[in-house]
Amino acid sequence: MEILSQIASELECGAHEAVRALTQSALEQELEAGVILERGLLAGMQVVGDRFRNHEVFLPEVLLAARAMNAGLELLEPHLGKAVALSRGTVVIGTVQGDLHDIGKNLVGIMLSGAGFEVIDLGKDVSPETFVDTAHETGASVIGMSALLTTTMPGMKKVIALLKERGLDSSVRTVVGGAPVTEEFAREIGADSYGFDAAHAVECVKELVG
Amino acid sequence: MRRTFEIPVAAVVPSGAAVLRAMGGTTDRSPGPRVERLLEEALEEFRAKAEPRAVTADIGAREFAEVYEGAGDNEPSSPLLAIFPRAERLALFAATVGAELSDRIAELFDAGRPALGAALDSAASEGTELAGVHLDGLAQEEARSRHAAGPDTWALRYSPGYCGWNITGQRALFAALRPDEIGILLTDSCLMQPLKSISGVMVTGPAAIHEIADDYPFCPDCRTKSCRSRMRKIRQNLRKEP
């Protein structure tokens, strides 16, 4: 359908006003919200994500596209039943206890949403208990943790230990990232995956949820 | 001597290209008009909200050795351990571009404007680095205005959290420098607030003392490798000296 291609195309350009107008128009044409989401918004974000991974577009272009996607999503949400809502899986993300940096974590959240995941962003300075309780209560399959200080990195290990203690480590997988975090550190603490940047973190989550 | 002062905003405004680079702009192509507009808007916000200021305090080598030692968490060997005893002058410093920028960045993300928020965040990070560069320049000028300083005298910053100086060293540094006077506080996890702040020691001395090997045990984990560009810059500038 032409209008879905237009939505995807305008989204790729980051034109949020156009995406909003086209999404409204698609709804007025009685297209199903789930179809508009999958073949319009998510299809456009997929292209932008692929281009970003191939270094063909800049991060701001990804974020402008994400804003455009949200503009369309706001209109679709009242029409989306739970069953067709963003359904690739639920990911709980946050910056670990003691750390107040959140830009990198925010970018991961935006990119995960753009890739079709439901994201529960716990914000910054998040305790291990909050990470684990939230993942358990929401049925999340992945916890994503960010740290920007060597002093706060041990918080990641505490979350993983708590998951094990509660017998949740096989159902809730973990991905860690942040400037001082290395693949070796991720291995040492028993994290399931390590994302070296926001785009890579999304790939890690995709792999973890299969 | 200890002093607190404001840094001119113009000295810390980064270029749009620098902001884009800081956002991971790794492609060869030019940004499109939307991105250009975004960068302009971010820099306008930056100019409006930035409140750059700094505090510096001279410190003797013996006193600095105690500050450097901190809680004893440093790597057994580090570049700074070899550099600071050969310095002509040491000064603790801290600088910030202010808290308003961080508040505005959070507002933008909350308002669903992540592109502008991320661009402003990168502008603020670059601006913070430029505040440090401004301090480098001041230290350099001061050194050269003193008769003792040779033509190859060079001032460079070293900070806790880098190159073997453990981030817990911030505690001793803050106790000695007291940057709370310009609004920079330290959390229990050694995080500076406002987030867009820098601190460390300004080492002034012959350029050669800043030449370091990048084969310390912790070097492979370093993502920035900024020591290489710093040394390259020194060499380039020395070649330009009359």
Domains of chain A are 2-84 (1.10.1240.10), 90-209 (3.40.50.280)
CA distance A122 to chain B (A): 13
Contacts of A13 in chain B (CB under 8 A): 34
Average pLDDT, chain A: 91
Residues of chain B found within 8 Å of residue A60, distances taken between Cβ atoms: 20, 23, 31, 34-35, 38-39, 115, 118-119
HSE-up of residue A149 (Cα within 13 Å, Cβ side): 27
Mean pLDDT of B113-137: 95
Given a cut of 90, is residue B239 above it in pLDDT?
A: no
Q: What is the mean pLDDT of residues B214-222?
A: 85
Count, residues in chain A: 210
Choice between B25 and A140, residue whose per-residue pLDDT is larger: A140
Q: Do B188 and A197 touch (CB under 8 A)?
A: no
Interface test with B, best of A93, A151, A182 (most B CBs within 10 A): A151
Task: Give me the pLDDT at residue B218, please.
Answer: 86
Which residue of B lies nearest to A70 if distances are taken between CA atoms?
Answer: B112
Indicate the DSSP class of residue B86. G
Least confident range of A142-146, A198-202, B42-46: A198-202
Model pLDDT, residue B27 = 53
Q: Do A182 and B221 touch (CB under 8 A)?
A: yes
Closest CA to A117 of A178, A73, A148, A157: A73
Q: Check residue A81 and report its DSSP letter.
A: -
- Model pTM? 0.86
Concatenating the DSSP letter of every residue in B180-192 gives GGGT-EE-TTS-E
Q: Which helix (H) or strand (E) holds A143?
A: strand A142-146
Total of domains in chain B: 1
Residue from the list B114, B117, B167 with its beta carbon closest to the beta carbon of A149: B167
State pLDDT tens for residues B145-169: 875 656 688 899 999 998 999 999 9
Interface subset of A 150-209, CB within 8 angstroms of B = 150-152, 179, 182, 184, 197
Q: How far apart are CA B167 and CA A154, in angstroms?
A: 14
Tell me the chain A residues in contact with residue B193 when contact means C-beta distances shorter than 8 Å. Answer: 100
Give residue B149's pLDDT: 59
Nearest chain A Cα to B111, which residue? A67
CATH number, domain with residue B209? 3.40.109.40
Interface size between A and B, measured as CB pairs under 8 A: 91
pLDDT in tens, A80-114: 865 455 568 999 999 999 998 889 899 999 889 88
Give the one of B39, B109, B168 whose C-beta lies nearest to A151's C-beta: B168
Q: Which domain holds residue B60?
A: 2-240
CA angle A134, A136, A141 (to 5 degrees): 100
Tens digits of per-residue pLDDT, B38-81? 999 999 999 999 999 999 999 999 999 999 999 899 999 999 99
Whole-Å CA distances, A27 to A19, A34, A40:
12, 11, 12
In whole angstroms, what is the distance from residue B13 CA to residue B28 CA? 24
Whether pLDDT at A53 is above 70: yes
- Are A64 and B189 an interchain contact pair (Cβ–Cβ within 8 Å)? no
Decide: residue B72, CB within 10 A, 0-12 exposed, 13-18 middle, 19+ buried. Answer: exposed
Specify the range with the lowest mean pLDDT, choosing from A81-85, A146-150, B21-25, B63-67.
A81-85
Question: Which residues lie below 8 Å from residue B39, measured CB to CB, with a gap of 6+?
Answer: A60, B16, B19, B20, B31, B119
Those residues with Cβ within 8 angstroms of residue A81's Cβ, 6 or more apart along the chain or in another chain: none
- Counting residues of chain B whose pLDDT is more than 90, the rounded percentage is 69
Specify whether the CB–CB gap between B216 and B162 falls below 8 A.
no
CA-nearest of B229, B216, B241 to B75 is B216
| Tens of pLDDT, residues B90-116 | 999 999 999 999 999 999 998 888 899
CB B42, CB B123: distance < 8 Å: yes
Residue A82: partners with Cβ closer than 8 Å, 6 or more residues away:
none
